[in-house]
């Protein structure tokens, strides 16, 4: 499968095609330096774009998701999809859709699925990451936990991408925008052009961090 084939597939997800193509470009670049990790694989739409980018360099994409759906995807909530509900288990189950998409795309040797909550997956994590894509739970606690727990593993020059950034609260939830703003305010990241609701930052090296940040700190 090639990137131009993705639009022809019916893959559930909320990622715009332009955002997906940007993820593909970023993953293609980052995978030359190390592994890529996404939080929130859902049914595999973002995984396709990231995975195809990684595959060009024989890279690896780790996809972290408990595959039980986020808070707003549960029965009775705004984004509940009955197709994803497993009647036998009485729970949302997106992993069967995710696995099918990965296999159909021929990404079995590229994508490593970690079926666990983000907080559990990171607990013993020690592998440096060349790119981190955050698109997991959109509550403030979930988004903040993903940001704090995983960004410390991003190498200098690595890419941090955050999905669903809406500056206006009337357009969407504010948790992704909040963690994106935290990253920008930290001075540790260089802002790259956004694509629709996809925010992209590059981790600065120690020599690139603005000197005024050090003078403001109370050591």
Catalytic residues: 138
CA 186 to chain CA centroid, Å, is 20
* 130 neighbors 75 (Cβ within 8 angstroms): no
Q: Which of 22, 14, 16 is nearest to 43 (CA)?
A: 14
Q: Which two tokens stand for residue 73?
A: 């995807």
Q: Which of 179, 188, 184, 182 is nearest to 143 (CA)?
A: 179
Q: What are phi and psi of 192, to 5 degrees?
A: -110, 165
* 63 neighbors 41 (Cβ within 8 angstroms): yes
Helix (H) or strand (E) holding 191: strand 189-195
- Secondary structure of 162-180 as H, E, C letters: ECCCCCCCCCCCCHHHHHH
Which residues share a beta bridge with 36? 61, 131
* 43 neighbors 72 (Cβ within 8 angstroms): no
CA 209 to chain CA centroid, Å, is 24
């Amino acid at each position: 499968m090639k990137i131009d084939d993705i639009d022809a597939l019916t893959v559930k997800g909320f990622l715009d095609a332009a955002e997906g193509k940007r993820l593909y470009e970023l993953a293609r670049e980052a995978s030359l330096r190390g592994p890529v990790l996404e939080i929130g694989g859902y049914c595999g739409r973002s995984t396709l774009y990231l995975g195809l980018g990684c595959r060009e360099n024989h890279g690896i994409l780790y996809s972290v998701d408990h595959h039980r759906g986020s808070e707003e995807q549960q029965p009775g909530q705004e984004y509940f999809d009955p197709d994803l509900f497993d009647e036998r288990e009485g729970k949302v189950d997106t992993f069967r859709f995710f696995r099918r998409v990965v296999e159909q795309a021929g990404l079995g040797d590229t994508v490593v699925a970690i079926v666990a909550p983000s907080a559990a997956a990171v607990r013993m994590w020690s592998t440096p990451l060349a790119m981190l894509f955050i698109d997991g739970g959109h509550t403030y606690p979930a988004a903040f936990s993903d940001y704090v727990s995983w960004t410390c593993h991003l190498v200098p020059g690595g890419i941090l991408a955050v999905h669903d950034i809406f500056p206006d609260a009337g357009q969407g939830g504010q948790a992704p925008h909040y963690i994106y703003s935290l990253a920008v305010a930290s001075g540790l990241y260089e802002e790259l052009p956004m694509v629709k609701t996809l925010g992209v930052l590059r981790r600065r090296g120690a020599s690139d961090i603005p000197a005024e940040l050090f003078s403001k700190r109370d050591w």
